[in-house]
Structure 1
Amino acid sequence: MATTKTTVGDIDPEVLRFTAGEDRTWDRELVEADCIGTAAHVVMLSRMDVDPPVIGTGECDAVIEALKDIIRADRAGKFRISEQDQDVHLAVERRLTRELGDTGRRVHTGRSRNDQSAVDLRLYTKRELLELLSETARLAGTLLDWGRERRDVPMPGRTHMQPAMPSSLGLWASAFAEGLLDDLDLLMHVYGTNDRCPLGAAASYGVPLPLDRELTSRLLGFSSPVHNVLHANHTRGKLESLVLAALSQVMLTVSRLSQDLMLFTMPELGYVQLPDDFCTGSSIMPQKRNPDVLELVRARTAGVLSAAGSAAEIMRGLPSGYNRDVQESKGALIKGLADTRACVRILQPLIAGMREDRDALLRGFTPGIFATDRALELVGEGVPFREAYRRVRRELRELDGRDPEEAVKIKDHAGAPAGLDWKVYRKRVRAAERFVRNHTTAFNDAVSDLLKAPWPELAPQSGDRKGAGKGV
């Protein structure tokens, strides 16, 4: 039977295609992370207290220069992961071996593709979460700006999609902003869980070498190593599930926001109008302005929720130690991060460009919407609530002519339409932005020191196209 020769043995071509699956596609996103992780591992090997050294100082420098060349090639679209490579790890090792000979063959000493995959995904997730945190804070800030400018604009509040009580555009917009701020808290917590280094766990059981895992963790800008080497690899799949669960919360917030806007822009309501350039037309109906962006946010929410459940299901029945099953959670994580970021990004200018129709909003104030306010007025006059409730229910028509703006102004307790604390909201946005700045700077500084080159810019070599700067 014909076999295909690979770095890790001869494999039946069908088995190779089946086991590699979509790994090569997803691993295109992990090239930079794999090179950074490998650089830290090689520096650690060069300082390891063994005689003779596994990697000499000069060899270490040569490996790091070669890794930077791989990053440059990847940014220029010139780095290839072949089917024989199977994944990014062996593709990078092949390139290093081709260029550096025996030095390249020693690079993998003391690690497995298990902990290598784990650190790559954590480095990738670190970058993506910081970007998502920044984008989510920006969307929350835009909602707050939009809502504060319209904090006194009356809007029918609804329950069961029916008119309920007087509300305001400010209350509506800041409710979704506060939802995103809560989601930011969760994302920052998940970032902290992700910010631990699994490298050095090898195949889950450590190695008989004096690896300095603390050093590797510091070089990569992690807060600490994952201590238990078996647990370090157990986090594969589980960490993806955790990140996707946090992404799901962001998506639930923006999906519900999108659903509201689809309803509010219906001609029957007409509360707001979306920017023209965020709507699409029809191939047959000339008049159409379709909210396709909002519909796709809603649909992609289902995809992220499904991915979170899928990652958890993959992990549910696995025995301890590495199992190839977790490979299937990689694509779910990468796509989930990409879809969540895309949805958050596109909603920010859409919200900023929305316009309200005050007349349409006021038309929604039917007499019954003031019923609860009137019942509570009667309570203030000494009428028991249930008696006031029944009296108002019998006399709804008498509520016609009430002033919606006045109804909004009198609700001034904490969190009500006229009692919103915009300063506290802004403080929370600034805290998230500060978190992103601090962690981004710390990571970029660590990688710059490791590669001895500015990160993420990584100045190109003479004749190379300038790097695209995919790093944090």
Structure 2
Amino acid sequence: MALWGGRFEAGVAEVTQEFGASLPVDKHLYKQDIAGSKAHAKMLAAQGIISAEDEQAIAKGLTGIEQDIDAGNFTFDINDEDIHMSIESELTRRIGEAGKRLHTGRSRNDQVATDTRLGVKALAKELMEANLELRHVLVDAAKKYDKVILPGYTHMQHAQPVLLSHHLLAYSWMFARDFTRLKAAFDAADNCPLGAAALAGTSYPLDRQMTAAELGFAGVIPNSLDAVSDRDFLLDLHYAGSVMAMHLSRLSEEIVLWSSSEFGFITLSDSYSTGSSIMPQKKNPDFAELIRGKSGRVYGNLVQLLVTMKGLPLAYNKDLQEDKEGALDTAHTLMQCLSVMAGMISTWTVNEDAMARECGVGHLAATDVADYLAKRGLPFREAHAVVGHLVLMCEKRGCNLEDLPFEVFQEASPLFEHDITEALDIPSIVAARTTEGGTAPAAVAVQLQRAEAQLVVDEGVFGSLTKVVEMGHGAK
């Protein structure tokens, strides 16, 4: 009979037993559940609600169960419905009456909320660590390619030349913001619901601050209704993951383009490429494509939980059982994506000559030619029109701006002098962008220092995270 079966005369139908069971998903939270039960039992003994002997027997029994699950020697029974009942029923089988006292003063509602919050803290921590590792790869690549110039694009059209290091650092800053969002999700989960019981608290003299401290939470949730029904912290994790998946997808799209024959900017390592079953010549960027594709999966998990939550009255509803699978999937998916992306970038070959050739296409100097005239007194809008006419002339002649004779420039505007050639030089164009955050080597060097400093700060934040119970990914 189920642990809650005293009120029922008939057993649950087999089909509903399987349909209603959360054990296949929440068994991955066994470490969190056991940690929560140990903290609860310790508090019960400290408050004189159970004996010290019972608390010691409970702690010893739970340790044995955890070790068996770690070793793969524990059989989960679907009839137990969830991880809480599975562990509690086995605990009672092993230690007898003391096991039945463990649930005093708590409900599965505050128990599962505690497990989930501990789980989210662990997942957020894992993602933050992988985020830092990818950012190190990006910064290292920015250092390595600090002299390489490639075309910058808007609307996927050649725009202005930029340093490759500048381009890579743009992604480093995106992932730095993702780290901040992951930390916010960690903080949102860092309050303890234990003691809220089913929804209204309990008449037992529980010390909620003690259990919170035992589990490494920053504090307790002040409202018992909110404690058992809140899943905002999960939404925060999903949102942070979704934005990071979007950034990974954008970077993947560039890798797909850059590795194509049309661009040829990079060559991916054989270890991060695949071939074709029919075309022997193919070297496909499958893993970049897969990262790009998995963003939809991550977004779907966010939308699923939003839709699940949108119509729920207070307090706990069985709908909330659907809150964990998506979060576990999102975290697992992103961990793989971050690792593969770091591997792709750290092993690729940058084809500097191909990037340089493309800088000679698309009139990348046009803006600087217009600036040349504007600095000599011509209103920029008029300068823009003059250079636009020169570009049109180049298009008709099938040449670039630097191929035009000096006489053509002077015919377009008497302000042009022979030093116009300096405005057409790609390295000089890049070097001129010295504003803060610009692409000039000097500006990028400053930005690189800032990116490295931010990594140091974020690593310090990561190192100071409050205690977490690591996820039991080995649950069978």
Give the corresponding residue for 1:295.
289
Post-superposition offset of 1:468: 8.9
1:148 aligns with 2:143: yes
CA contact (8 A) 2:235 2:306 kept: yes
Q: Matches of 2:89 and 2:426 in 1, distance apart?
A: 71
Letter of the 1:260 partner, please give it. E
* 1:251-290 equivalences in 2 (<5 Å): 251-290=245-284
Distance 1:469 1:161 in 2: 42
* 1:443 lines up with 2:442 in the alignment: no
Are 2:72 and 1:86 equivalent residues in the alignment? Answer: no
Look up the match of 2:303. 309
**Paired position in structure 1 for 2:13:** 12
Q: Is the 8 A contact 2:30 2:472 kept in 1?
A: no
Shift of 1:81: 2.2
C-alpha distance in structure 2 between counterparts of 1:336 and 1:468, whole Å: 16
User: Which residue matches 1:31?
Assistant: 30
- Whole-angstrom CA distance in 2 between matches of 1:149 and 1:380: 35
Alignment match, 1:125: 120
Q: Contact 1:180/1:250 (CA < 8 Å) preserved in 2? A: yes
Which amino acid is 2:127 matched to?
A: L
Q: Is the 8 A contact 1:80 1:91 kept in 2?
A: no
Inter-partner Cα distance in structure 1 for 2:27 and 2:246: 29
Which deviates more from structure 2 when the two are superposed, residues 392-401 or residues 329-338? 392-401
Q: How far apart are residue 283 of structure 1 and its match?
A: 1.9
- Tell me, yes or no, if the aligned pair for 1:206 and 1:229 is still in contact at 8 Å: yes
Find the counterpart in structure 1 of residue 390 from structure 2: 395
Q: Which structure has the larger Rg?
A: 2
Mapped to 2, the partners of 1:149 and 1:470 lie a distance apart of 39
Contact 1:307 1:336 survives alignment (8 Å): yes
Instruction: State the secondary structure of the residue aligned to 2:162.
Output: strand
Contact 2:65 2:91 in 1 (8 A): no
Displacement of 1:256 in angstroms is 0.5
- The alpha-carbon deviation at position 12 of structure 1 amounts to 1.6
Aligned to 1:459: none
Query: Corresponding residue for 2:319?
Result: 325
CA distance in 1 between counterparts of 2:228 and 2:3 reads 22
Counterpart of 1:400, as a letter, is E
Counterparts of 2:382 and 2:97, CA distance in 1: 90
Give the Cα separation in 1 of the matches to 2:55 and 2:194: 18
Cα deviation, residue 342, structure 1: 1.4
Q: Quick one: distance in 1 between partners of 2:63 and 2:402?
A: 72
**Unaligned residue ranges in structure 2 (runs of 5+):** 6-10, 395-399, 404-423
Distance 1:286 1:154 in 2: 32
Amino acid in structure 1 at the alignment position of 2:44? L
- Which amino acid in structure 2 is aligned with residue 252 of structure 1? M
User: Which residue of structure 1 aligns with residue 100 of structure 2?
Assistant: 105
1:218 aligned onto 2:220: no
Question: Are the counterparts in 2 of residues 409 and 417 from structure 1 also a CA contact under 8 Å?
Answer: yes
Matching residue of 2:413:
none
1:169 aligns to what? 164
Name the amino acid aligned to 2:257: L
The CA deviation at 1:177 is: 0.4
Matches of 1:336 and 1:383 in 2, distance apart?
A: 55
The whole-number CA distance in structure 1 between the counterparts of 2:172 and 2:101 is 51
SS in 2 for 1:165: strand
2:64 alignment partner AA = D
Equivalent AA in structure 2 for residue 75 of structure 1? D
**177-186 vs 412-421, greater mean Cα deviation:** 412-421
The Cα shift of 1:259 comes to: 0.7
Q: Would you say 1:416 and 2:438 are equivalent positions?
A: yes
Contact 2:121 2:190 in 1 (8 A): yes
Tell me, yes or no, if the aligned pair for 1:156 and 1:361 is still in contact at 8 Å: yes
For 2:325 and 2:23, the matched residues in 1 are separated by 10
Q: Which runs of 5+ in 1 are unaligned?
A: 448-455, 457-466
Q: Secondary structure at the match of 2:364?
A: helix
Q: Does the 8 Å CA contact 1:311/1:329 hold for their aligned counterparts?
A: yes
Q: Is the 8 A contact 2:142 2:168 kept in 1?
A: yes
Deviation of 1:171 after TM superposition, in Å, equals 1.3
Distance 1:239 1:153 in 2: 42
CA contact (8 A) 1:275 1:354 kept: yes
What TM-score results when the alignment is normalised by the length of structure 1?
A: 0.89
Q: How far apart in 1 are the matches of 2:125 and 2:458?
A: 10
Counterparts in 2 of 1:336-415, with a 5 A limit? Answer: 336-365=330-359, 366-396=361-391, 397=394, 399-400=401-402, 402-415=424-437
Q: Alignment partner of 1:203: what SS?
A: coil
Deviation at 1:100, TM superposition (A): 0.9
Q: Is the 8 A contact 1:152 1:408 kept in 2?
A: no
**Residue 415 of structure 2 corresponds to which residue in structure 1?**
none
- The answer to whether the Cα contact below 8 Å between 1:39 and 1:64 also exists between their aligned partners in 2 is yes
CA contact (8 A) 2:76 2:86 kept: yes
Contact (CA 8 Å) 1:147, 1:170: kept in 2 or not? yes
RMSD: 1.8
Any conservation in 1 of the 2:120–2:234 contact (CA below 8 Å)? no
1:209 pairs with 2:233: no
Residue in structure 1 matched with residue 417 of structure 2 by the alignment: none
Distance in 2 (CA, whole Å) between partners of 1:381 and 1:118 is 68
Range with bigger deviation, 286-295 or 85-94: 286-295
Does the C-alpha gap of structure 1 residues 280 and 129 become closer, same or farther in structure 2, counting only changes over 3 Å? same
TM-score (normalised: structure 2):
0.89
The answer to whether the 8 A contact 2:65-2:74 is kept is: yes
Q: Is residue 70 of structure 1 aligned with residue 70 of structure 2?
A: no
User: Is contact 1:135-1:344 (8 Å) kept?
Assistant: yes
Q: Do the aligned residues in 1 keep the contact of 2:152 with 2:159 (CA within 8 Å)?
A: yes
- The 3-state SS of whatever aligns with 1:157 is strand
1:280, 1:291 within 8 Å by CA — same for their partners in 2?
yes
Q: Is the 8 A contact 2:365 2:425 kept in 1?
A: no
Does the 8 A contact of 2:212 with 2:219 survive in 1?
A: yes
How many percent of aligned residue pairs carry the same amino acid?
Answer: 32
Deviation at 1:400, TM superposition (A): 2.5
Tell me the residue number matched to 1:233: 228
Q: CA deviation at 1:55?
A: 2.2
Q: Distance in 2 between matches of 1:66 and 1:30?
A: 18
Give the superposition deviation at 1:28: 2.6
- Residue 18 of structure 1 aligns with an amino acid whose one-letter code is F
